[in-house]
Amino acid sequence: MGYDISVIPNNYNVEMDRTLISRYEIDYNYETVYFDFDDTLIIDNKVNLKAIWFLYQCLNSGKKIILLTKHDKELYRSMEKYKINSNIFSEIIHIAPTDSKSSYIRPHKAIFIDNAYNERKDVESVHHIPVFDVDNIEVLMDWRS
């Protein structure tokens, strides 16, 4: 092509590891995602990167994301601490620890993601919508994007 080129060497080693990953496709068309904060979006005082990937994937596909949490501190300050912009969420519902999350869910074409089994069990039994534990987020991720 007639271009002059030069090579810039890098003085470090690269190790590659190829592994198989699981890819899923579910046949449930959801428009709204109810998402928990503690131990779901934030785990061990760190942002859950798969959760963030999934949330941005939802934004890119036009899904509504609702943060539904019983966070026991000042929520917006905690979000700021972890550099999570509240604009990711269509709505933020901060409820009392004694409230039932199922009372705040509008189930039409919705899913619920929470680390707490009792919360998932309650939401599923009340609304009959798909519920996912934090370690099942991969099932919802579109690996093609």
> What's the pLDDT tens digit per position in 126-135?
999 999 999 9
Report yes or no on 6 lying in a domain. no
Q: The dihedral of CA 100, 102, 106, 109: what is its sign? A: positive
Residues 128 and 107 sit within 8 Å (Cβ to Cβ): yes
Q: Is residue 16 part of a domain?
A: no
For 125-141, give the DSSP string.
Answer: HHH---EE-GGGGGGG-
What is the C-alpha end-to-end distance of the chain, expressed in Å? 32
Residue 3 lies in a domain: no
The continuous run of DSSP H or E covering 122 comes out as: helix 117-127
pLDDT higher than 80, residue 20: no
- Give the pLDDT of residue 145: 59
Is residue 24 included in any domain, yes or no?
A: no
Please report the pLDDT score of residue 1 as a whole number. Answer: 85
User: Does any domain span residue 33?
Assistant: no
Residue 55 tokens read as 């949330």
- Residue with the bigger pLDDT between 143 and 38: it is 38
**Ranges of H-type helices in 64-116:** 75-81
- Amino acid 12: pLDDT: 92
Question: Over 70: is that where the pLDDT of 107 sits?
Answer: yes
Residue 22 has pLDDT above 80, yes or no: no
**Confidence band, pLDDT 50/70/90 cuts, at residue 102:** very high
Q: What confidence tens digit (pLDDT) does each residue in 36-92 have?
A: 999 999 999 999 999 999 999 999 999 999 999 999 999 999 999 999 999 999 999
Name the token pair of 49: 């990167």
Total domains in the chain come to: 1
Q: What is the CATH number of the domain that holds 111?
A: 3.40.50.1000
Percent of the chain with pLDDT over 70: 99
> Can you give the residue range of the structural domain that contains 133?
39-140
Q: Is the pLDDT of residue 24 over 70?
A: yes
